[in-house]
C-alpha cells in the first residue's frame, strides 16, 4: 500500500485527557500517513470523540504531543488546527443551506471585477471548475438545501480541500445514506486519496471500515488497543479488539425472572420509516436488552412508547390494560417510565436542586390543599431515595449540574422510581459515567427488577447488557433481527456484535 | 432571478409571490375605485411610503444577517429633531443657529451612522443580545429626542433641506394638459432600493451578509469576518434611518418629537411580507420593495374607500399573519421538494426503512 510512503501527515503521541471522574484518554498514539484512509473504531465512550476533539483543538490534552505538518504542539487551538490543514466533516453538515452551491464553495472569496462588483457568471464557472477538478459534477446554481446528504458531504469535503485541508476527519458520514450514495461517496474519497489527501474515518459500520480504510486504530476505554493494516484483518478479530476480553463487568445475581406475570406485551407495532413488526413480551422482574446501531429504530421505539414521539400502529398492553401514551405524563400515569439517553437535554434540570429534580413527576401526589406542596413529605421522600440509591451529594438542595455524571444519572433514576413504574425503559443508562458508577447503576437496575419492575435497556455496551439482562434483542434497520437468551450457548459478545452489524448469526438455542 | 424551467415554475411563483400580491391588490382596488389607478395617486403613494421604505431598506440589511434593529424609528426621530434644531429659527422652535442645510444634513447622517455603530459594537464586541440592545436604544433615543426638543415641533425649514421630502425633480405633461410633478422622494426611494439591491447581490459585502445570515459558523469557517459584517449592517441601518428622518422632516416641513414613533412594526411587517426572512439568509431587496408597495397600496386603497382607520389597522395585522403563514408554507414546500429530489435523484429511493 502506498500509504506507508513519506512522512506522516499527523502524529499524535501519548495523548492523555481526564475529565472529572473519568480518564477519557490515556497514552493514545495515532499516526496518519499521506494518502491514507485511517479508520478509528471503538464502542461509545471508547475515546474517539475526545481524541478528535483534541486534534481539532476543542479539548486541550493533559499529556502528549501532536506533530502536524512538521510543527509540534502540546495543545492546539481550533484556529491552529484549521491552519495546519485539519478539517472536520460532521455527520450533520453545517452549510449555508439557503444559498447556492457556488456561493458555498466560494464563500468569503467571491470573484469581483475591477469595480468590486460580484461577477456572477464567473462565480458559477469558477465554482464549477473547482468542483470538476475534484471530479465532482454538480449543479452549482442549485441551492444546498436541495442536495442529498451524500452530495452535501462531498461538497463539505470539497470545501475543506479548497481551504487547503490535508487531513479530513469524516465522522459517521454514511449514517443517513442509502447504499448507492455510499458508493458514490466512497468513490470520491478514494479518488482524493490518490491525490495525497489523508482521511480519518470514524464509523460504527465495520464493513465500511473494511471496504475503504487502509489501516485501523482501535480504542477501548480511552486506551489504544492496536493500530493494524486492514488487509489481513477480519470482522470477528476487529470486534474482539473493540470489545476486549478481560474487563470485569457487573453480573446480576439470580437473573432468571422468578415471576412470570406479563407486565407489557407489544404486538405488531409498526411506525413506517422507524421500526416494523415489533413483538415482545416483558415479564415482571425481567430485564430485556435491545442492542443496535445508531438509527436502528430502538430509540424511536423507546420514545414512541414513552409518548415523546408517535408510537405507531399496533397492540400494546401494560399490566393487562391497553396502553397508549400521547405524552410522557400519560406514560407515567399508565406505569411506564423512560430514562433518556441525553441526560442534559431530557433527564435533569441542571440548575435546580436534587430535591426538585426527583419530585417533578409526583408533585401532584405531594400537593395538599390549594396546591401547596407538603414539604416535610417531599423532603422525606427525597432523603429516602438519596440513601437507597447511594446518591453522593452534600445535601438534597445541591444543584444537580454540580454532581458527577454517575450521581446525576442516579437522580434521574430516583425521579423515575417515584412514579412507581411497572415498566422502565433505560436508554444508554451508563453513558458518560465511570466504572464504579456503572456498577452502582446496574445494582439499582437489578434491585428494581427484584421488586418486580419490568425493565428494557437500550445500550450499545454489549458486555454490560450480557451482565444484567435475561435476554437481548438485536434491532437492525427497524426490525428485530435476532433474539439471544443470556446464558444460552451462542450468546457471545461476538455473535451479538455481528448481528448488530446486520450479519446473520447461526445460533443454536 | 435564477433560471426557470417548467418544473420550477411553481417554485418561481412561490418565491416571487409578493409581486403577485401587489398585482392582485392593484387590480382589486382599481376595480373598486376609478380614482385609484391614476398617475397622480400612484406617485403620491410612493411619497407616502418613502420614509417607511427607507427604514425597510436598513432593516432588511440587518434581517438578512439574522439580526434586527428595533431602534431605527427612534434614530429617525432623533436625527430629524437634531437637523430641525440646527436650521430652524428660534421663533419656529430651532436653536437659532440657522446653519447651512447641507451641514445639517451631514450632521444627521453622521449621527445616524454613529448610532448604528454603537448598536453594532455593543452586539458584536460585547456580545450583548441584539433584541435588548436595540430596544434599549429605542427608548434612550426617543427620550433624548423629547429632552432636546423645544417641547413642540421645529418647523419652517429652508427649501434645500425640504427638497428630498417635498421637492420635485421634473414635471410631466399629462394627456389632460395638466402637469404631473415627479417628487424627489419617489425617485429617491426607487434609487435607494436599486442601489441596495445591487449592493446585496453584486458586492462582496452583500454576499457576505447572506452567508452570515444563512449559517454564521460556516461563514466564519469560510474566512468571512462576521463581526465586521454585522457591525456594518447596523451602521447601514442607522444611515437609512437618518435619511428617513431627513425625508420625513422635509415632507412635513417640520420635525416633531414623536416622529417615527410606532413605525418599527410596520417596517418589520413590510420587510417580512416582502419575503425577507426573520431567520436570516433569505429574501431580496426587490422583494422588500414589493412589501413596501403592498403596504402603501393597502393603505391608500382602504383610505380612498373610506374604511375606518381601525379596520385598516386590523387589515395590516391580517396581512402580516398571512405573510408569515405563506413564509412558513414556502419553507416547508421547498423543503419537501428538496427531500423528494434527494430521494429520487441519484439513488434508488426509499429502499432503506430507517432513513429519516
Residue B334 — very low, low, confident or very high, per pLDDT cuts 50/70/90? low
Q: Which three cell numbers stand for residue A139?
A: 449543479
Residue A246, exposed/middle/buried by CB under 10 A (0-12, 13-18, 19+)?
exposed
Interface touch A149/B342, C-beta < 8 Å = yes
Partner B, chain A 310-339, Cβ-Cβ below 8 Å: none
Higher pLDDT, A352 or B46: B46
Interface touch A103/B345, C-beta < 8 Å = no
Is A494 part of any domain? yes
The verdict on A239 and A268 lying in the same domain is no
Is A257 part of any domain? no
Short-list B326, A36, A42, A37, CA closest to A28: A42
Whether B100 and B328 have beta carbons less than 8 Å apart is answered as: no
Interface touch A146/B338, C-beta < 8 Å = yes
Selecting from A95, A178, A272 the residue whose C-beta is nearest the C-beta of B351 gives A178
Is B242 part of any domain? yes
What residues in chain A have per-residue pLDDT under 70?
A: 1-5, 20-22, 44-45, 176, 245-251, 253-259, 432, 434-435, 504-509
Q: How far is B238 from chain A (nearest CA, A)?
A: 24
Please tell me whether residue B183 adopts helix, strand or coil conformation.
Answer: strand
Residue B340 — very low, low, confident or very high, per pLDDT cuts 50/70/90? low
Is A505 part of any domain? no
The verdict on A93 and A183 lying in the same domain is yes
Q: How far is B289 from chain A (nearest CA, A)?
A: 21
Interface touch B218/A94, C-beta < 8 Å = yes
Rg of chain A over CA atoms, in angstroms? Answer: 25
The pLDDT value recorded for residue B337 is: 67
Q: Which residues of A touch B351 (CB under 8 A)?
A: 178-179
B91 C-beta neighbours (distance < 10 Å), count: 9
Is A412 part of any domain? no
Whether A144 and A119 have beta carbons less than 8 Å apart is answered as: no
> Which residues lie below 8 Å from residue B325, measured CB to CB, with a gap of 6+?
none
A184 C-beta neighbours (distance < 10 Å), count: 18
User: Rounded distance, CA A314 to CA A270, Å?
Assistant: 6
Higher pLDDT, B165 or B2: B165
pLDDT tens digits for A320-361?
899 988 888 889 889 999 998 877 777 777 778 888 888 888
How many A/B residue pairs have CB atoms within 8 Å? 119
Is A380 part of any domain? no
Lowest mean pLDDT among A503-507, B92-96, B159-163, B215-219: A503-507
Rg of chain B over CA atoms, in angstroms? Answer: 22
The pLDDT value recorded for residue B3 is: 42
Residue to test with chain B: of A100, A102, A146, A274, most B Cβ within 10 A: A146
User: Rounded distance, CA A205 to CA A186, Å?
Assistant: 14
**Chain B residues whose C-beta sits inside 8 Å of any chain A C-beta:** 2-3, 198, 201-204, 206-208, 210-211, 214-215, 217-219, 221-224, 277, 281-282, 334-335, 337-338, 341-343, 345-349, 351-356
Residue A414, exposed/middle/buried by CB under 10 A (0-12, 13-18, 19+)?
buried
User: Rounded distance, CA A266 to CA A401, Å?
Assistant: 36
Cα B277 → chain centroid: 13
The pLDDT value recorded for residue B285 is: 96
> Which residues lie below 8 Å from residue B67, measured CB to CB, with a gap of 6+?
B123, B130, B230, B233, B234, B280
Interface touch B346/A98, C-beta < 8 Å = no
CB proximity A5 to B under 8 Å: no
Lowest mean pLDDT among A351-365, B157-171, B320-334: B320-334
Is B354 part of any domain? no
Is A496 part of any domain? yes
Whether B276 and B60 have beta carbons less than 8 Å apart is answered as: yes
Selecting from B203, B337, B346 the residue whose C-beta is nearest the C-beta of A148 gives B346
- Per-residue pLDDT averaged across B345-351, rounded? 35
b/e per residue A446-463 (b: at least 16 CB within 10 A): bebbeebbbbbbbbbbbb
Is B356 part of any domain? no
Q: How far is A142 from chain B (nearest CA, A)?
A: 9
Q: How far is B203 from chain A (nearest CA, A)?
A: 5
Whether B85 and B94 have beta carbons less than 8 Å apart is answered as: yes
Is B78 part of any domain? yes
The verdict on A151 and A18 lying in the same domain is yes
User: Rounded distance, CA A98 to CA A109, Å?
Assistant: 18
User: Rounded distance, CA A5 to CA A396, Å?
Assistant: 60
Whether A141 and A103 have beta carbons less than 8 Å apart is answered as: no
Interface touch B282/A145, C-beta < 8 Å = no
The verdict on A17 and A148 lying in the same domain is yes
Residue to test with chain A: of B354, B355, B356, most A Cβ within 10 A: B354
Is B350 part of any domain? no
Short-list A242, A292, A247, CA closest to A42: A242
Q: Which domain holds residue B15?
A: 6-344
Nearest CA in chain A to B333: A146
User: Rounded distance, CA A165 to CA A272, Å?
Assistant: 40
Nearest CA in chain B to A151: B342
Residue A154, exposed/middle/buried by CB under 10 A (0-12, 13-18, 19+)?
buried
Q: Which domain holds residue A118?
A: 2-243
User: Above pLDDT 90, what percent of chain B?
Assistant: 61
Interface touch A180/B346, C-beta < 8 Å = yes
Q: Which residues of B touch A184 (CB under 8 A)?
A: 346
The verdict on A236 and A268 lying in the same domain is no
Interface touch B341/A181, C-beta < 8 Å = no
Q: Which residues of B touch A293 (CB under 8 A)?
A: none
The verdict on A212 and A332 lying in the same domain is no
Whether A405 and A432 have beta carbons less than 8 Å apart is answered as: yes
> Which residues lie below 8 Å from residue A254, measured CB to CB, with a gap of 6+?
none
The verdict on A145 and A283 lying in the same domain is no
Number of domains in chain B: 1
β-pairing verdict for A287-292 and A471-476:
parallel
Higher pLDDT, B308 or B333: B308
Is B144 part of any domain? yes
Interface touch A98/B214, C-beta < 8 Å = yes
User: Rounded distance, CA B60 to CA B277, Å?
Assistant: 9
Among the ranges A214-223, A349-358, B13-22, B46-55, which has the highest mean pLDDT value? B46-55
User: Rounded distance, CA B73 to CA B237, Å?
Assistant: 10
User: Rounded distance, CA A306 to CA A346, Å?
Assistant: 12
The verdict on A266 and A192 lying in the same domain is no
Please tell me whether residue A69 adopts helix, strand or coil conformation.
Answer: coil
Q: What is the pTM of this model?
A: 0.75
Nearest CA in chain A to B280: A98
CATH number at residue A456: 3.40.50.300
Interface touch A110/B337, C-beta < 8 Å = no
- Per-residue pLDDT averaged across B170-180, rounded? 83
Is B65 part of any domain? yes
User: Rounded distance, CA B339 to CA B95, Å?
Assistant: 64
Q: Which residues of B touch A477 (CB under 8 A)?
A: 352-354
Number of domains in chain A: 2
The pLDDT value recorded for residue B192 is: 97
CATH number at residue B14: 1.10.3470
Work out the angle at residue A349's Cα, subtended by the Cα atoms of residues A346 and A350, and round it to the nearest 5 degrees.
115
Which phi and psi (to 5°) does residue A483 adopt? -130, 125
The verdict on A111 and A231 lying in the same domain is yes
> Which residues lie below 8 Å from residue A495, measured CB to CB, with a gap of 6+?
A484, A505, A507
Which strand (E) or helix (H) includes residue A89? strand A86-89
Q: How far is A47 from chain B (nearest CA, A)?
A: 26
The verdict on A69 and A189 lying in the same domain is yes
User: Rounded distance, CA B50 to CA B251, Å?
Assistant: 10
Selecting from A110, A145, A184 the residue whose C-beta is nearest the C-beta of B204 gives A110
Is A358 part of any domain? no
DSSP string, B34-55: TTTT-HHHHHHHHHHHHHHHHH
Whether A177 and A205 have beta carbons less than 8 Å apart is answered as: no
Q: Which residues of B touch A111 (CB under 8 A)?
A: none
Q: CA distances (Å), A294 to each of A279, A500, B1, in order?
A: 20, 10, 41
The verdict on A69 and A196 lying in the same domain is yes
Selecting from A145, A180, A273 the residue whose C-beta is nearest the C-beta of B347 gives A180
Q: Which residues of A touch B210 (CB under 8 A)?
A: 96, 98-99, 103
User: Rounded distance, CA A490 to CA B1, Å?
Assistant: 64
The verdict on A147 and A69 lying in the same domain is yes
Q: Which three cell numbers stand for residue A75?
A: 495543545
Interface touch A149/B215, C-beta < 8 Å = no
User: Rounded distance, CA B259 to CA A217, Å?
Assistant: 69
Is A377 part of any domain? no
The pLDDT value recorded for residue A253 is: 64
Please tell me whether residue B9 adopts helix, strand or coil conformation.
Answer: helix
The pLDDT value recorded for residue A33 is: 93
Here the ipTM equals: 0.77
β-pairing verdict for B254-255 and B154-155:
antiparallel
Amino acid at each position: 500500500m502506498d500509504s506507508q510512503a513519506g512522512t506522516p501527515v499527523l502524529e499524535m503521541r501519548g495523548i492523555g485527557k481526564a475529565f472529572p471522574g473519568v480518564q477519557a484518554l490515556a497514552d493514545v498514539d495515532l499516526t496518519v500517513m499521506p494518502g491514507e484512509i485511517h479508520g478509528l473504531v471503538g464502542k461509545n465512550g471508547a475515546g474517539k470523540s475526545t481524541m478528535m476533539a483534541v486534534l481539532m483543538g476543542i479539548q486541550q490534552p493533559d499529556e502528549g504531543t501532536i506533530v502536524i505538518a512538521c510543527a509540534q504542539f502540546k495543545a492546539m487551538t481550533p484556529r491552529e488546527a484549521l491552519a495546519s490543514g485539519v478539517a472536520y466533516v460532521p455527520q450533520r453538515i453545517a452549510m449555508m443551506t439557503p444559498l447556492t452551491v457556488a456561493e458555498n464553495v466560494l464563500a468569503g472569496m467571491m470573484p469581483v471585477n475591477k469595480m468590486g462588483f460580484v461577477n456572477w457568471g464567473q462565480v458559477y464557472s469558477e465554482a464549477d471548475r473547482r468542483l470538476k477538478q475534484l471530479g465532482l459534477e454538480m449543479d452549482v446554481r442549485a441551492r444546498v438545501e436541495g442536495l442529498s446528504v451524500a452530495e452535501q458531504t462531498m461538497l463539505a469535503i470539497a470545501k475543506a480541500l479548497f481551504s487547503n485541508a490535508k487531513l479530513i476527519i469524516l465522522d459517521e458520514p454514511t449514517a443517513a445514506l442509502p447504499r448507492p450514495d455510499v458508493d458514490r461517496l466512497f468513490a470520491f474519497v478514494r479518488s482524493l486519496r490518490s491525490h495525497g489527501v489523508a482521511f480519518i474515518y470514524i464509523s460504527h459500520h465495520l464493513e465500511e471500515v473494511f471496504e475503504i480504510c487502509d489501516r485501523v486504530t482501535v480504542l477501548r476505554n480511552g486506551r489504544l488497543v492496536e493500530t493494524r493494516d486492514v488487509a489481513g484483518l477480519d470482522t470477528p478479530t476487529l470486534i474482539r479488539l473493540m470489545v476486549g476480553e478481560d474487563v470485569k463487568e457487573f453480573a446480576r445475581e439470580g437473573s432468571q425472572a422468578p415471576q412470570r406475570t406479563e407486565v407489557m406485551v407489544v404486538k405488531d407495532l409498526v411506525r413506517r420509516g422507524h421500526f416494523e413488526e415489533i413483538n415482545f413480551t416483558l415479564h415482571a422482574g425481567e430485564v430485556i436488552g435491545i442492542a443496535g446501531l445508531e438509527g436502528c429504530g430502538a430509540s424511536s421505539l423507546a420514545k414512541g412508547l414513552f409518548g415523546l414521539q408517535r408510537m405507531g400502529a399496533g397492540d400494546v398492553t401494560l399490566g393487562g390494560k391497553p396502553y397508549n401514551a400521547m405524552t410522557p405524563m400519560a406514560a407515567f400515569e399508565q406505569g411506564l417510565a423512560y430514562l433518556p439517553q441525553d441526560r442534559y437535554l431530557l433527564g435533569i434540570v441542571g440548575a435546580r436542586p436534587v430535591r426538585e429534580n426527583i419530585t417533578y413527576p409526583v408533585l401532584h401526589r405531594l400537593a395538599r390543599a390549594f396546591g401547596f406542596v407538603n414539604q416535610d413529605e417531599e423532603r422525606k421522600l427525597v432523603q429516602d431515595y438519596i440513601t437507597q440509591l447511594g446518591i453522593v451529594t452534600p445535601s438534597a438542595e445541591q444543584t444537580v449540574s454540580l454532581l458527577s455524571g454517575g450521581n446525576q444519572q442516579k437522580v434521574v433514576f430516583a425521579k423515575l422510581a417515584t412514579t412507581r413504574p411497572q415498566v422502565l425503559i433505560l436508554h444508554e443508562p451508563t453513558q458518560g459515567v465511570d466504572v464504579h458508577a456503572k456498577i452502582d447503576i446496574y445494582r439499582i437496575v437489578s434491585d428494581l427488577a427484584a421488586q418486580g419492575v419490568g425493565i428494557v435497556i437500550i445500550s450499545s455496551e454489549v458486555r454490560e447488557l450480557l451482565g444484567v439482562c435475561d435476554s437481548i434483542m438485536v434491532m437492525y434497520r427497524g426490525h428485530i433481527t435476532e433474539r439471544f437468551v443470556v446464558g444460552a450457548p451462542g450468546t457471545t459478545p461476538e455473535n451479538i456484535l455481528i448481528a448488530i452489524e446486520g450479519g446473520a448469526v447461526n445460533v443454536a438455542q | 432571478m435564477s433560471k426557470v424551467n417548467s418544473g420550477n415554475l411553481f417554485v418561481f411563483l412561490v418565491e416571487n409571490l409578493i409581486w403577485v400580491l401587489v398585482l392582485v391588490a392593484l387590480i382589486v382596488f382599481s376595480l373598486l375605485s376609478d380614482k385609484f389607478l391614476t398617475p397622480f395617486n400612484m406617485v403620491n403613494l410612493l411619497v407616502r411610503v418613502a420614509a417607511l421604505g427607507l427604514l425597510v431598506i436598513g432593516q432588511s440589511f440587518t434581517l438578512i444577517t439574522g439580526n434586527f434593529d428595533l431602534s431605527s424609528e427612534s434614530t429617525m426621530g432623533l436625527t430629524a429633531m437634531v437637523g430641525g434644531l440646527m436650521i430652524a429659527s428660534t421663533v419656529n422652535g430651532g436653536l437659532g443657529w440657522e446653519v447651512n442645510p447641507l451641514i445639517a444634513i451631514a450632521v444627521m447622517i453622521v449621527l445616524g451612522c454613529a448610532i448604528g455603530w454603537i448598536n453594532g459594537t455593543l452586539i458584536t464586541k460585547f456580545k450583548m443580545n441584539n433584541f435588548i440592545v436595540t430596544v434599549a436604544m429605542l427608548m434612550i433615543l426617543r427620550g433624548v429626542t423629547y429632552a432636546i426638543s423645544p417641547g413642540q415641533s421645529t418647523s419652517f425649514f429652508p427649501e434645500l433641506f425640504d427638497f428630498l421630502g417635498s421637492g420635485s425633480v421634473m414635471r410631466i405633461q399629462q394627456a389632460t394638459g395638466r402637469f404631473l410633478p415627479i417628487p424627489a422622494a419617489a425617485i429617491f426611494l426607487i434609487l435607494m432600493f436599486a442601489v441596495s439591491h445591487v449592493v446585496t447581490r453584486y458586492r462582496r459585502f452583500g454576499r457576505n451578509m447572506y452567508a452570515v445570515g444563512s449559517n454564521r459558523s460556516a461563514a466564519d469557517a469560510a474566512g468571512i469576518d462576521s463581526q465586521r459584517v454585522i457591525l456594518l449592517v447596523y451602521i447601514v441601518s442607522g444611515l437609512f434611518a437618518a435619511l428617513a428622518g431627513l425625508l420625513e422632516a422635509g415632507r412635513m416641513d417640520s420635525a416633531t418629537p414623536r416622529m417615527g414613533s410606532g413605525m418599527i412594526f410596520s417596517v418589520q411587517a413590510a420587510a417580512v411580507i416582502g419575503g425577507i426572512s426573520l431567520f436570516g439568509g433569505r429574501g431580496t431587496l426587490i422583494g422588500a420593495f414589493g412589501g413596501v408597495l403592498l403596504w402603501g397600496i393597502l393603505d391608500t386603497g382602504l383610505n380612498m374607500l373610506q374604511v375606518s382607520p381601525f379596520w385598516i389597522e386590523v387589515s395590516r395585522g391580517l396581512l402580516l399573519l398571512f405573510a408569515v403563514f405563506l413564509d412558513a408554507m414556502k419553507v416547508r414546500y421547498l423543503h419537501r421538494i428538496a427531500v423528494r429530489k434527494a430521494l429520487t435523484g441519484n439513488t434508488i429511493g426509499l429502499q432503506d426503512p430507517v432513513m429519516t
